[in-house]
Structure 1
Amino acid sequence: MSIARAERLVNLVLCLLSTRQYLPAERIRSLVAGYSDAPTDEAFFRMFERDKTELRDLGVPLETGRTSTFDLVDGYRIARRDYELGDIDLEPDEAAAVALAVRLWDSPELTGAAAGALLKLRAAGVDVDQGVPSVVEPKVRTTEPAFGPLLAAVQAGRTVAFDYRRPNPTELRRRTLEPWGVVSWRGRWYVVGHDRDREAPRCFRLSRIVGEVEAFGRTGAVSRPADVDLLQFVAKSSGEPADTSIVRLWLARNRAAGLRRRATVVGERTIDGVEGDIVELEVFHTDSSASWIAGYGEDAVVLEPDVLRKSVHERLLAVAGGPERMP
C-alpha cells in the first residue's frame, strides 16, 4: 500500500468516527484529504469504492444508511461502540507473558512487533510490567543475518534459496528449501524444511548460510506437516558430535533461570555475601557454553572445570574492556 493511500484511509476513518450522522460520498470527498486529487467524479467513486472495501477487509465496521427520511442518497459512518477496543482484562500470567515477549528477542524484526503490542496494552490501561517473575531471564540471540528473511519466508509460506557452506569439505552449495520453521537447539539456530534438491526433509544451520536468502514462489504454497516436531528433527539430524561434559556452577539464589532449568542443585554456598546454589550441568561444546554462561554475568560463576572458568572470565573481561586478575 502506498503512503498516500494509507494516509487517505487513516483520514477517512477519523472523519467517519468524528460524526454521528451518515456522510454522503460527496461530503466525504470535500472533507477527506486525498480525494480532491481525483481528476473526475468517476475516478473519485472508483477510489472511494476501493477504500471502502479495504476498510471492511481490515475489520473496520463501516455502516451505510441515511440520517433522515429527507436524505436522497446513502451515507457512511463508523460507530464508535463497534470500532473501539473492548476492555482488556489479562490475568497476571498473561500480562507477564506479554512483557516477557518484549524482552525475549534480540532481533530488530521481532523487537518492533513486541514493543508495539506492549504500547497498545499500556494505552488500554493494562500494566503488563506487573507480575513478571524476576527469575525469568530470556536469553535468545538472533544475530545471524539469515534469521529475519527465513522467519519471514516461514510466515509467508514461500520457498527460499541460499548458498550453504558445508563443514567438511569446505565448499558452497546452492540449496532450495521449502521452510517449515526456524528453531534454536544447543545455542544454535536451524531452519527445517523440505530440501527440493534432495527431495527429503533437511535442516540447515543459519551460521553456515552465506549471503542473502532469496524467497520466491506463491505466498502460502509451503506449509509445515502436522506430524513433524522441528526441535526433535534437528536433534536427530544435525550431525553434531555428542561430546558432553559435566560442569559445576555457582548460581545466585533465584537467578539464572535459564541455567537452572537444565541443572541439578547439589549444594549451597555464599560467595561475597551473596547466597546461592551449587549446581551440576551437562553441556555440549565448551566454547559455545562459555558464551552462554557469561551472558548471565555475576549471577553465574564457573567452579569446574578450570578451562571453562577461564573462558567465561575472558569473555566477561572483553565486555568490561580491561584486564583483571582471576578470582
Structure 2
Amino acid sequence: MSATSASAEKTERLLNLILALKSTRRPIPKDKLRAALPAYAEAPSDEAFDRMFERDKDELREMGIPITTTVVDVLFDDEVGYRIDSSETSLPEISFEPDEVAALALAARAWSTASVSGTATAGLRKLRLAGVEIDESLAAGVEPRIRTTEPAFDPVRVALSARQPITFEYQKNDGSVDLRHVRPWALKHWHGRWYLTAYDVDRGAERAFRLSRVVGPVRKKGRAGSYEVPADHVPEVSLAAQAPEPVGTATIRLRHGRGHLLRQAATRTRDIDHRWTEVEVPYERGRTERDIAALGSHAVAVAPVELVDGVREALQRVLESHSGRLPQDERAAAPRVGEQAP
C-alpha cells in the first residue's frame, strides 16, 4: 500500500470514528465500534484492533477533540464506553461583515481551478444554507493572488505526500531548460507564487523551484517513502536564501486594477491618468521581466533599458511560438512587440 492511500484510509477511519462518537446519545463500547466501523472490523486480531483504536483516540485528543470515557453499566465497571459531546465541539453562531463575505467569495474564486475547488464550493454552499448571503460580484475585478493552475502542482503534491523522488525539466533564469532530479521537502505559497523546496540529487544541495517554471510532466523517479524530510527544514528560510538579489530599481506602468504582485512590492507609486499607474519596484533580473510579460498589454516596462529589452524579447518569443498556429494573413497583421506605450 502506498503512503498516499494509507494516509487516505487513516483519514477516513478517523472521520468515521468522529461521526460515530458524536452521533450517539450514550457511550459506545469499543466492541460495538469494532463491529460498526469497517476499518476496525477488518483488523486481523483483537490486539491489532486495540492498538489501532488507542492510537486513533490519542490522535483525536491531540487535535483537541474531547473523547469522554464512561462506565456503561454501574454493575460492571470494567466495561466502558466512548462518546464525543457535541456541545464541546460545536462552533457558536457565526456572522460575517460584508467585506468578510467578499473575501470568502474571492478565496473560493481564487481556488476555482485548484485540486481543492470542490472543498471551496462546498464551503460556500454551506454558508448559503446557513443563511449567509454570498455576493460574489463584490470580488469582481479583483485579481486573486492564490492560484494552483500550474500543471505541476498536483503531481508534486502527491509525490511530497508519498515522500517519493521525482524528475522534471526546469526553466532557469536565462531561459534555458535542464533536467532536475529532486526529493520533495515542502510546498510553499510565497509572495504570491507556489514553490517546491527539495533536495537536488544532482547538485547535492537544497534548492527551491517555482512551479510555474516546471516544463512538461513531473515523473516519479524512485520508491515512495525512500527518504525523510529534515526535521529542521523551514521552507521560508530556503526561499529567502535563494531569492535573486535586486540589481537596481525598475519603473513600470500598470493599468488600474492589474499587477497586484508588482504593486505590493512597489517602493513608489503615482497615478499617471485614469487608466495607468507608474510604480517603482526592486529590479530582479529575469524575474521582473517575466512578471511584466505575464501581464501582457496591462503592463509596460519603462526603465532601465535592460528591463525594456528583456520584456520585449520575452514577448517576442511568445509571439514567435504562437505565430506558426496563425493563418498567414493573421501573422502579417499581428502587432510588432515593443510598439505599445500608454
TM-score by length of 1: 0.58
2:245 alignment partner AA: K
Maintained 8 Å contact 2:251/2:278: no
Question: For 1:103-159, what per-residue CA distance to the aligned partner results, in whole angstroms no more than 9, with x for missing partners?
Answer: 2246533434544554555566655658955553215554433333445667x6968
Distance in 2 (alpha carbons) for counterparts of 1:150 and 1:51: 32
Distance in 2 (alpha carbons) for counterparts of 1:178 and 1:171: 19
Question: For 1:241-283, what per-residue CA distance to the aligned partner results, in whole angstroms no more than 9, with x for missing partners?
Answer: 9996755x654xxx44738936631123xxxxxxxx3334679
Distance in 1 (alpha carbons) for counterparts of 2:200 and 2:37: 50
Instruction: Determine whether 1:69 maps to 2:74.
Output: yes
Distance in 1 (alpha carbons) for counterparts of 2:18 and 2:157: 32
Maintained 8 Å contact 2:110/2:146: yes
Maintained 8 Å contact 1:181/1:224: no
Other-structure match for 1:78: 84
Maintained 8 Å contact 2:255/2:276: yes
Other-structure match for 2:245: 236
Instruction: Determine whether 1:104 maps to 2:113.
Output: no
Q: Which runs of 5+ in 1 are unaligned?
A: 269-276, 295-299
Change in Cα spacing, 1:90 to 1:29, as seen in structure 2 (3 Å) is: same
Maintained 8 Å contact 1:22/1:67: yes
Maintained 8 Å contact 2:208/2:238: no
TM-score by length of 2: 0.56
* CA RMSD, 1 decimal: 5.4
Other-structure match for 1:20: 25
Q: CA deviation at 1:183?
A: 5.6
Change in Cα spacing, 1:4 to 1:183, as seen in structure 2 (3 Å) is: closer
Distance in 2 (alpha carbons) for counterparts of 1:131 and 1:210: 36
Maintained 8 Å contact 2:21/2:82: yes
Other-structure match for 1:292: 295
1:218 alignment partner AA: E
Distance in 2 (alpha carbons) for counterparts of 1:99 and 1:256: 19
Other-structure match for 2:152: 146
Other-structure match for 1:217: 227
Change in Cα spacing, 1:243 to 1:25, as seen in structure 2 (3 Å) is: closer
Q: Which runs of 5+ in 2 are unaligned?
A: 1-5, 282-287, 303-307, 336-342
Q: CA deviation at 1:61?
A: 2.7
Distance in 2 (alpha carbons) for counterparts of 1:2 and 1:175: 25
2:52 alignment partner AA: R
Secondary structure (helix, strand or coil) at the match of 1:20 reads: coil
1:37-186 equivalence runs, <5 A: 43=45, 46-47=48-49, 50-51=52-53, 53-59=55-61, 60-67=65-72, 69-72=74-77, 73-88=79-94, 95-105=101-111, 107-115=113-121, 117-119=123-125, 134=140, 136-138=142-144, 141-150=147-156, 160-165=165-170, 172-176=178-182, 179=185, 182=188
Other-structure match for 1:278: 276
Aligned pairs, how many? 289
1:279 alignment partner AA: T
Question: For 1:169-199, what per-residue CA distance to the aligned partner results, in whole angstroms no more than 9, with x for missing partners?
Answer: 96744443665655677x9865455645445
Other-structure match for 1:274: none
Distance in 2 (alpha carbons) for counterparts of 1:85 and 1:146: 37
2:28 alignment partner AA: L
Maintained 8 Å contact 2:105/2:139: no
Maintained 8 Å contact 2:183/2:199: yes
